[in-house]
Structure 1
Amino acid sequence: MTFDFAIVGAGMAGASLAAELAPAGSVVMLEAEEMPGYHATGRSAAFWSETYGGPAVQPLTSASHDFLAAPPPDFADRSFLDRRGALHIAEATGASMLEAFLADFAKSDVVLEPLSAAALAGHCPGLRDGWNRAVLEPSCADIDVAGLHQAYLRAAKRAGADLRCLAPVTEIERVGDGWRLRAGNETIEARILINAAGAWADEVAALASVEPIGIAPFRRTVVQLRTDPAAPADLPLVIDIEGRFYFKGEAGGRIWLSPHDETPAPAGDVAVEEMDIALAIDRFEKAVDWKVLAVERKWAGLRSFSPDRLPVYGFDPASPDFFWCAGQGGFGIQTAPAAARLSRALILEEAMPASLAGVDAAVYAPDRFS
């Protein structure tokens, strides 16, 4: 089986890039699990926030907005975004961090609105005394992660891409001007190898005798709560500026809450730690005067960061047919449209599309780690 492009991983990163590349050449996605999106993509409580990931990620997020809000008719018949708004809150100990947060985005087009204590209470009733500083990010929205992922998989299939599930890559070797891979029970050859393996990105690189970058997976915990009072229907995403928790309302007045944990974890099927749930609820109850009645659901997923916490898009400097598409952290969903278009342009040596104006590809290039 010979292809122009072999993509290791069929989560959001692999599927979006397959959809971009398939019209230009033969593509195979190699997915280790029974179905794509089982790990990071399928366990995301994703939102689209221009500030999430910091100023260096923001250009990718902003460049993805129009596609997510109004996708082409042949891609999807509805928006993937549902406006929610975000509220960045602080105690006295976080006042300087809130000021730094505003300064970070002062030169961007991101709209951020400092709120008075009175205005804050209108956005998030029940905040305890001391939580009287806040910045509103009105553009923040929920993302239909499953819908977006399935749309990318459909687009890739329509353009001729092949998907192999239960096909973990166990061997990679150089063959002439390309690669030979052992994936599941098949041997596959490809001209260009694309590493979109998420938490397994460094392992895939090592199989290909490419120097690992140092992409590390971390566990993130989310719980669904039933509270008294129930969450208001218009509750924004509420984020502690000191990074100790975030929560948002869900259907039926429920709350999705995370302790914003980043616990180093081996690549694999991670499970929830009860201590993280207790920590999340403790932080939540110290911030709002709401009683937790029940934990209805709980799950954990992996997010993977490069050493400088920025994504990695580009050909490896020592292995020019090995392309990195990894290290997306928790912002891989919200940046997927721009990241896929950026990667396509780099792989096919095309001019950057107009939708990526303001995005500097060199910021994300793997040679920054050389």
Structure 2
Amino acid sequence: MFDFAVVGGGIAGMSAAAALAPLGSVVIIEAERQVAYHASGRSAGIYQPHQGTAAVRALTEASATHLHFSNGGVLRKRGMLLVGRVGEEAYFDYEAQAGRLTPIPVEDAGVYFPLLKTEHVSRAAWSNDVLDLDGHALLQGYSTQARTDGVQLRSDAQVLEINHYADGWRLNTTAGQIHARLLINAAGAWADVIAQMAGLPPVGLSALRQSMIDLPAPMGHDSRRWPYVRAAGGRWYIKPMGNTLLLSCAEEERAEPADALADEVVLANGLARFEDMSTMSISRVNGTWAGLRTFAPDRSPIVGADPLNRDFFWLAGQGGTGFQTAPALSDLLADMMTGRASALAGDVIYALSPDRLRG
């Protein structure tokens, strides 16, 4: 019998397992043959400290020291350029203010991102706070820590049935039965499904698809030092990835939990929106894919014991901020298990609690 069973082997589950290992025996249950197969394996690797709700921003701030320094640090200099078209000034002003960006001349934006059609841009803003985040390195750091502390991994173990007894949980999986005292639901887009299997009502999580395009860097340009560029109003964003460019169509279309596939119509429309503001003529792509970002109704993550069953803990709803909030979320989970006082403010902890969603 384990003390903790963590369902989900993405960044949430792996960081939770590493944080819980000093407190007792831990098993990670992962449905796929490899960890971080879904959302965690498809992250664009962007650290945005001013992104999201007040609770997300507090978690990001609390995670900063770990991200900057642990295991040599996983953050690297990048910068962000926000651009807006004529008629989109309201979107631009809101996003620039929320992201704490500094307005710059449109001509300077063309220097930062040489592919920009400056004649189609009415406003631009810049931030040095947005950084590259090496998600693979962060995940590997937690994985190494977990293995060192004795965490067991059961991969290719799809959960079939969950039952609660006086002494804990029994999970029937395709890799056999697992018995644990406490259950941590870090199943990403499947978190509501796991809750229902455990006899609990869903909390209303939404899995939202985002389609991505891998573009070859244009001839004659060294794109490696270009910034992360975002079009106001969520039209698209682009980020250098080595010698290629990662273009997001930036859609948020609700999807069922699954191995997400890029939508051809969405891809075509995303390319058209990008080409409308870029001098780049795209004749081929290196590849396409999609990922699911999972949100609670109020867009803040969920962490803590469910009020309907205190042996069932949520760790879900990170909504694309899983890597930049993982250190603080896993620390908070461990604090809850031990009764230690958290470094997070009380209003932040409540804003993350499942209690807020149970009425």
Sort the TM-score into its range (normalised by shorter chain): over 0.9
Cα distance 1:293–1:42, how it changes in 2: closer, same or farther (>3 A)?
same
Of the three residues 76, 82, 92, the one matched with 1:82 is: 76
- Aligned residue number for residue 108 of structure 1: none
* Matched ranges for 1:155-234 at <5 A: 155-229=145-219, 230=221, 232-234=223-225
Correspondence 1:43 to 2:57? no
- Aligned residue number for residue 124 of structure 1: 113
Of the three residues 324, 329, 333, the one matched with 1:339 is: 329
Q: CA deviation at 1:197?
A: 0.4
- Quick one: which amino acid aligns to residue 251 of structure 1? G
- Aligned residue number for residue 61 of structure 1: 60
- Aligned residue number for residue 103 of structure 2: 114
Deviates more, 1:271-280 or 1:111-120: 111-120
Cα distance 1:62–1:126, how it changes in 2: closer, same or farther (>3 A)?
same
- What are structure 1's unaligned runs of at least 5 residues? 106-110
Partners of 1:94 and 1:347 lie apart in 2 by 47
Provide the TM-score with structure 2 as the length reference.
0.94
Give the percent of matched residue pairs that are identical in Structure 1 and Structure 2: 38
* Matched ranges for 1:291-306 at <5 A: 291-306=281-296
Cα distance 1:358–1:223, how it changes in 2: closer, same or farther (>3 A)?
farther
- Aligned residue number for residue 12 of structure 1: 11
- Aligned residue number for residue 272 of structure 1: 262
Look up the SS of the partner of 2:132 in the other structure: strand
Partners of 2:148 and 2:232 lie apart in 1 by 43
Structure 1 outlier segments of 4+, above 4 Å: 356-359
Deviates more, 1:79-88 or 1:4-13: 79-88
Of the three residues 237, 244, 252, the one matched with 2:235 is: 244
Q: CA deviation at 1:63?
A: 1.9
Cα distance 1:116–1:54, how it changes in 2: closer, same or farther (>3 A)?
farther
Q: CA deviation at 1:10?
A: 1.0
Look up the SS of the partner of 1:136 in the other structure: strand
CA contact (8 A) 1:59 1:359 kept: no
Look up the SS of the partner of 1:325 in the other structure: strand
Partners of 2:355 and 2:196 lie apart in 1 by 17
CA contact (8 A) 2:210 2:250 kept: yes
Partners of 1:51 and 1:366 lie apart in 2 by 24
Partners of 2:242 and 2:178 lie apart in 1 by 45
Correspondence 1:367 to 2:355? yes
- What are structure 2's unaligned runs of at least 5 residues? none
- Aligned residue number for residue 26 of structure 2: 27
Number of aligned residues: 356
Look up the SS of the partner of 2:189 in the other structure: helix
CA contact (8 A) 1:4 1:191 kept: yes
Deviations 1:214-251 (A, max 9, x none): 11212211111125354533211111220110001222
Partners of 2:347 and 2:48 lie apart in 1 by 17
Deviations 1:262-301 (A, max 9, x none): 2222111122222222112101101111222420121111
Look up the SS of the partner of 2:356 in the other structure: helix
CA contact (8 A) 1:195 1:201 kept: yes
Q: CA deviation at 1:339?
A: 1.2
Deviates more, 1:263-272 or 1:27-36: 263-272
Partners of 2:88 and 2:329 lie apart in 1 by 32
- Aligned residue number for residue 136 of structure 2: 146
Look up the SS of the partner of 1:309 in the other structure: coil
Q: CA deviation at 1:47?
A: 0.7
Cα distance 1:231–1:363, how it changes in 2: closer, same or farther (>3 A)?
farther
Partners of 1:361 and 1:93 lie apart in 2 by 39
- Aligned residue number for residue 96 of structure 1: 90
CA contact (8 A) 1:120 1:132 kept: no
Q: CA deviation at 1:357?
A: 6.3
Look up the SS of the partner of 2:258 in the other structure: coil
- Quick one: which amino acid aligns to residue 80 of structure 1? V
Cα distance 1:126–1:33, how it changes in 2: closer, same or farther (>3 A)?
closer
Look up the SS of the partner of 1:228 in the other structure: coil
